[in-house]
Amino acid sequence: MTQEINLPDVLAELTEVFAQYEEALVNNKVEVLDALFWNSPHTLRYGVAEVQYGHAAIQAYRAAQPAQGQPRTLTRTVITTYGREYGTANVEFQREGESRIGRQSQTWLRLPEGWRVVAAHVSLMG
Instruction: In whole angstroms, give the CA distance from residue 121 to residue 117.
Output: 11
Give yes or no for a contact between 88 and 106, defined as CB atoms under 8 angstroms apart.
Answer: yes
Q: What are phi and psi of 34, to 5 degrees?
A: -60, -40
Give yes or no for a contact between 91 and 74, defined as CB atoms under 8 angstroms apart.
Answer: yes
| pLDDT digits (tens), the chain, 126 positions | 567 999 999 999 999 999 999 999 999 999 999 999 999 999 999 999 999 999 999 999 999 988 888 899 999 999 999 999 999 999 999 998 899 999 999 999 999 999 999 999 999 998
For 28, other C-beta atoms within 10 Å of its C-beta total 15
Q: What is the DSSP letter of 6?
A: T
- Give which of 11, 2, 4 is closest to 110, Cα–Cα: 11
Task: Tell me the whole-structure pTM to 2 decimals.
Answer: 0.94
- Give which of 85, 69, 58, 78 is closest to 28, Cα–Cα: 69
Strand order in the sheet with 44-46: 51-53, 44-46, 114-124, 101-111, 86-95, 72-82
Largest CA distance in the chain: 47
